[in-house]
Amino acid sequence: MTKQGKNFKTSSIGNIQKLGRVTLNAELALTGSEISINELPAGVGVPFVHAHKRNEEVYIVVKGKGVFYVDGEEFAIEEGDVVRVDPTAARSIAASATSPIRYICIQTEAKSLVQHTQNDGVPVKAKTSWIK
């Protein structure tokens, strides 16, 4: 699916298992984040450790099992686990020996969020096919 309008843009991720990694910033013309959807096969880890200059990262495990490394510590992660990592932390991630892992990684400028949800939301009087 690819649709766009004045105030929105859509895309389809495709076959993540085959692609390994898909990034959304350029594809969706994002201005507040870079988002990647990633899958590592069983027994495979990201082959480097990295930190960031400015960006906070959030990892969301959506499928499978793995291991997360941060600042010298390692711990098991699985579907439903989420991790916030501050910019200066050294981090890496791997699938477990016996299971692939699929995860979403969200990069944002640290300390950039001003307000959210009810403080930022504006009710709109409009009907949809499910709101009569």
Restricting to residues 93-122, name those near its own copies by CB under 8 A.
94, 104, 106-117, 120-122
The closest of 76, 81, 86, 101 to 21, measured between CA atoms, is 101
Nearest approach, Cβ of residue 101 and its own copies (Å): 12
Among 39, 64, 65, 77, the residue binding its own copies under the rule CB under 8 A is 77
Nearest to 80 by CA among 66, 63, 94, 92: 63
Q: Which of 39, 42, 83, 99 is the binder for its own copies (CB under 8 A)?
A: 83
Rounded Cα distance between 88 and 93, Å, is: 16
* Other beta carbons within 10 Å of 107: 19
Among 34, 42, 99, 100, which residue interacts with its own copies (rule: CB under 8 A)?
A: 34
Round to whole Å and give the CA distance between 33 and 21. 16
Residue 20 CB, nearest distance to its own copies (Å)? 15
Site for its own copies in 54-73 (CB under 8 A): 54-56, 58, 60, 62, 67-73
Q: Does 8 bind its own copies (CB under 8 A)?
A: yes
Q: 85-99 burial string, b = 16+ CB within 10 Å, else e?
A: beeebebebbbbeeb
Using the rule CB under 8 A, is 42 a contact of its own copies? no
A 10 A CB-CB count for 123 gives: 5
CB of 71 to its own copies, least distance (A): 6
> In terms of CB distance, is 20 or 74 closer to its own copies?
74
